[in-house]
Each structure stands twice: as C-alpha cells, then as structure tokens.
Amino acid sequence: MLPTRPRTVPSSRLSRLAGFGRLAGGIAGNVIGGGARDVLKGQRPDLANLLLTPANAKRLADELARLRGAAMKLGQLISMDGGEVLPRELADILARLRAEADPMPEKQLEQALVAAWGPDWRAQFQRFDAVPIAAASIGQVHRAVALDGRDLAIKVQYPGVAASIDADVDNVATLVKLSGLVPAGFAIDPLLAEAKRQLHEEADYAREGAMLARFGALAADWADVVVPQFAADLSRPTILAMGHVKGVAIDKIAALPQAERDRVMTLMLRILMAELFDWGVMQTDPNFANYRYDLGSGKLVLLDFGAAREVPAAVSNGYRALLAAGLAGDDDGLLAAMAGIGILPENAPAAMTDTILAMARDGFAPLRMDGAFDFGAGGLAGNLKDQSTTLIGQREHFTAPPPDILFIQRKIAGMYLLAARLKARVDVAALVRPYTAGGTAIAA
C-alpha cells in the first residue's frame, strides 16, 4: 500500500526535480539488476519487460504520490488504462494513485491558509477541521462551518503544484520516452501540451469555481441532481470553498437494489447526453470520486469541475452523426462519422479500420437493443478489451484523436465502466434517440 501518513509536499522546483532524479535512479538500478540476471541465465534482456516490473511500478506510484500535483495526476491518468495497455499487475499497483493521497502536515497546511486568507483566517469560521476529509493530486478538502452557519467543504491547493505543472509533465514525459515504450512515430508532444493545458485549468480554482456555479445553474431543474453551492466570498486563487454535500462514493451503490442502480446509472447517462448536446460543457474526468450518492434522498451529487471543458458545436454535431449511424447499424456511416471527429486515423490500414469498426459495433450494441441493456452481462466489456488488445498490437499506425475527442471518449468509457461495475440495466436507445433526430432532450 502507498503511505497514508501526512507528508510534506515538495514545493520548490529543485526539491521536485530531486524526486524525479531519485525515481529515475531507482528504476535504472532495478533495470540494470534485472538485465544482469537475464544475462546470467543466458537470456537476452528485454527493456520493456525490465521497466514494467512490479518493483518499478511500486517505486513509480510511491514517488508520484509523494510529489502530488501534475506528477500524481499523470500517474492517475496512466492507471485508468484498467489493464488494457499495462499488464494487470502493474495497472493494479498504479491504481493506488486513484485512492486518497497523503495529506499535508498541519504546519504546511497552516502556511497555505495564512498565505491565502491572512494570519487572522480563523476569524471567518466557527469551526475549521484541520484533519482533511479527502486528499487528492492537486489539493485536499477540509470541513468547516462559516460564521454565518454555512456547512462548507474547503479545497486547499498544495503549495507549489501550479508552478510545477510544466516541469512535472516534462519530467514524466522524459521517463516515458526513455523507456522505449512509446511507439515509433507516435505524436506524444501534442498530448503532453494538452495535458499541461488541462492541468493548469485544474489548478485554476477561480476557473473551477466559475464552472461549479455554471453546472449548478444548468442542473438546477434536475430534481435528482445536487451540485454544491459555490462560496465565492471565501474562495481564493488557491482556495475553493463550497457547500458540503453528504453522500457515499458512487461505486458503493453496487449493493443497492437493481431498480435503484438502474435509475442512478440512467440519470448519469442522461447527464452525459445533456453535457454533450444541450449544455455545451462537459466534466471530462470519469473518476468515480467525482460522483456521490445521498443515501437519504437518493440524489446524485456532482463534484469536482476542474476538468470541465467546452464542447464545440462541431464536436456535438459529429457525435450526433456517430450516434445516428450506431443506432441504425450503418457501418459506412460509422466509419465516416469516426473519421470526421478523428477517432479513425487518416489512412488507417484495413486491419486497423476493421478493428475500430468492430469496437464501434460492440460499443453501440446498447443503442440497438429494444428496452434495457444489461451492462453487467459481461460480454460487452470482454469484447472491447479483446479488441483493444488487437488495436494496441497495431499501435505503430495509431495516432491519437484530437484532444476534445480524446477527453470525451475517456468520459464515455468511464460511464461504460461504471455501468458494468453497478451491473446496471439501462434503456440507452431511449436516451439517445431524441438527439439523433437533431433535437434536444427535456431536463430531468
């Protein structure tokens, strides 16, 4: 397990660079040792296999967790592969990065609060709990009660993480490039530039506060949805204050009755459709921690809008065409729509086109079924994983979709994964059909 004790967040450029140096040196030592053992056995060392060992993955996960910030966030993104690119054992180790991070020591927390609110910051509160209720890659969350009685959740950004984003991404990219695991010809630099842009947005608490308020307004008429109230008066560039909303992690509702799981997952997919076609903005991080369930009211709680991004009209229209083709079972239409939005690479070889088309057919299976589709049946996830493995074998021809599409696809994949985990049954065709006719759906 990763450590769970308070650990100081390295905030200076030099201290963070030293962390990457230790990480690279430790991994290199393990690789050299493993290679020597292979040679002694009369075997030819395989660099990729030597790098992808449980020992190196554990070292990587622990150091990224210690650094927090962009370094940990990138590790979380890598870990969400779910075992389809990385070996299952390594994916499981890196998946620990999706659990709670180590909190700051109380002394460093105090320094961060004084820097944001001034030395008399406690005068704003009846109570401020020093022990956080959650800690993640960019910041940690504390319960507080304001002087006027508001029950609040206060997100405090780790010192130095915003200033370290570009260097952290570059350092992680250097480790990845040196590993030899990136396919020849794969254009990784545009993805790294996009990662930097998104991480800067996630560290911009003023932007996230505006998105929090925007989503609150958009979901105001949805009776079964709750968005915390933005507390602008207490928010600062490194502090995001909002109302505290109770609830359990969304994947914890797997033990609830089938009908309730179906209702909640249907609601989540309705929100996805609204984001893509009605609202023009989407929360693109599918991390399950961003959704909670209020056991008392049965309402869905939406959290964390740092990864929210605009959905351009051209992208929305491209997905309308894609859904219409999928609903109709039109292979030519699917290929044209996927090429139009960048999912199908230009000049893709026939074998890759066949694999992507097969994935699209299976992915759209829920749309072509009359009535509820059973995500828990297991066949869909297994088929998609097998096809992903085939596609990875053709990765020398692979080019990443445009960033907008990449993040939307990641969100959609996360919803499929959650639906499978909840064993939910959803009438997906009924949700999609209103949008394929060019219209919009009515809010909940």
The count of other CB atoms within 10 Å of the CB of residue 333 is 16
Give phi and psi for 106, each to the nearest 5.
Answer: -60, -35
pLDDT per position as a tens digit, 402-427? 878 888 888 888 888 889 889 999 99
Check residue 38 and give its pLDDT.
37
Q: How far is C-alpha 219 from the chain's CA centre? A: 21
Give the Cβ contact number of residue 27 at 10 Å: 22
With a cut of 50, list the residues of the chain below it in pLDDT. 1-3, 19, 24-25, 27-51, 69, 71, 75, 79-87, 89-90, 93, 387, 389-394, 442-443
Residue 374 CB coordination number (10 Å): 18
List the catalytic residue out of 168, 262, 278, 285. 285
pLDDT at residue 337, as a whole number: 92
Chain length of the chain:
444
Query: 272: which 2 tokens?
Result: 């996805």
Distance (Å, whole) CA 339 – CA 442: 30
The model's pTM is 0.79
Please confirm, yes or no, whether 404 is among the known catalytic residues: no
Sign of CA dihedral 427, 432, 437, 443: positive
Tokens of 378: 């297991």
CA distances to 332, 344, 368, 429, 437 from 324, in Å: 12, 17, 11, 10, 8
Sign of CA dihedral 319, 286, 288, 443: negative
Rounded Cα gap, residues 172 and 27, in angstroms: 13
Which residues have C-beta within 8 Å of that of residue 95, sequence separation ≥ 6? 79
Domain extents for the chain? 13-103+162-200, 248-444
Query: On the CB side of 28, how many CA atoms lie within 13 Å of its CA?
Result: 8
Give the per-residue pLDDT at 355. 81
- Put the strands of the sheet holding 291-293 in their side by side order: 225-226, 300-302, 291-293, 248-249
- Report the pLDDT value the prediction gives residue 95, as an integer from 0 to 100: 53
Query: From CA 209, how far away is CA 212, in angstroms rounded?
Result: 5
